[in-house]
Structure 1
């Protein structure tokens, strides 16, 4: 099992309506992506981020389905332009010592196949975790 999580802060000037659209898109991912077993989207307490989302997925095949699903792509489109700082993480009970590298490879494959997504992520003020391709220096 893999728990994929995101933690993020929003840029100044984002309207409540824009934020709610992005949060609802995250919730929609949990409802409609078949490989998602459970999810939570809400306030992030106990750290430096304002919001967070976690999705429970059975395996790497399900993770790939999650990454490329149209509902996830919609969240990228409506949500990433609102984000200042973003961190993603993965927790797994898979005993495979290569599990982390395999998860990172899925993210890299996704970025390599989607230049628009890579640009959105690279434009973030800060992004760490899960094979982050950016932000660009300078």
Structure 2
């Protein structure tokens, strides 16, 4: 099982209505993407984060289907321009020592197939974690 998480800090000036619409879109995407077993989207209680989401996926094949689903692409296109800071992380019960490299490869392939999203991700002021482009992971 894979728990794919996202944490978001919105840019200054993003209205509560814009943020709410983006979160609602993210929540809807979970029901539109068949491989999502469950998800939670809402307020992130952590320091310096506004919102977070966790999507539960069965395995790496489901992870790939999630990444490439049109509903996920729509969320990326709508949400990324609103973000000042983004972190993606994955937690798994899979004990494969190569799991991290496999996730990185899926993320690389995802960006390779969608140059528009890649450009949006590259322009984020802060992008951390498993979805960070190579060379852009910031602390």
TM-score normalized by structure 2?
0.93
Q: CA deviation at 1:25?
A: 1.2
Q: 1:126 Cα deviation (Å)? A: 0.1
User: Does structure 1 conserve the Cα–Cα contact (< 8 Å) formed by 2:88 and 2:128?
Assistant: yes
Deviations 1:41-90 (A, max 9, x none): 00001332111000000000100010011110011111000000000000
Distance in 2 between residues matched to 1:135 and 1:11, nearest whole Å: 19
CA contact (8 A) 1:7 1:44 kept: yes
Q: 1:131, 1:101 → 2: CA distance?
A: 12
- In 2: Cα distance, 1:36 partner to 1:135 partner: 28
C-alpha distance after superposition, 1:70-111 (max 9, x if no partner): 110011111000000000000000011111110110000011
Q: Is the 8 A contact 1:4 1:88 kept in 2?
A: yes
Does the 8 Å CA contact 1:68/1:110 hold for their aligned counterparts? yes
1:15 alignment counterpart: 15
Give the number of aligned pairs.
136
In structure 1, list runs of 5 or more residues that go unmatched: none
CA distance in 1, matches of 2:93, 2:99: 9
Across the aligned residues of Structure 1 and Structure 2, the Cα RMSD in angstroms comes to 1.4
Unmatched tracts of structure 2, length 5 or more: none
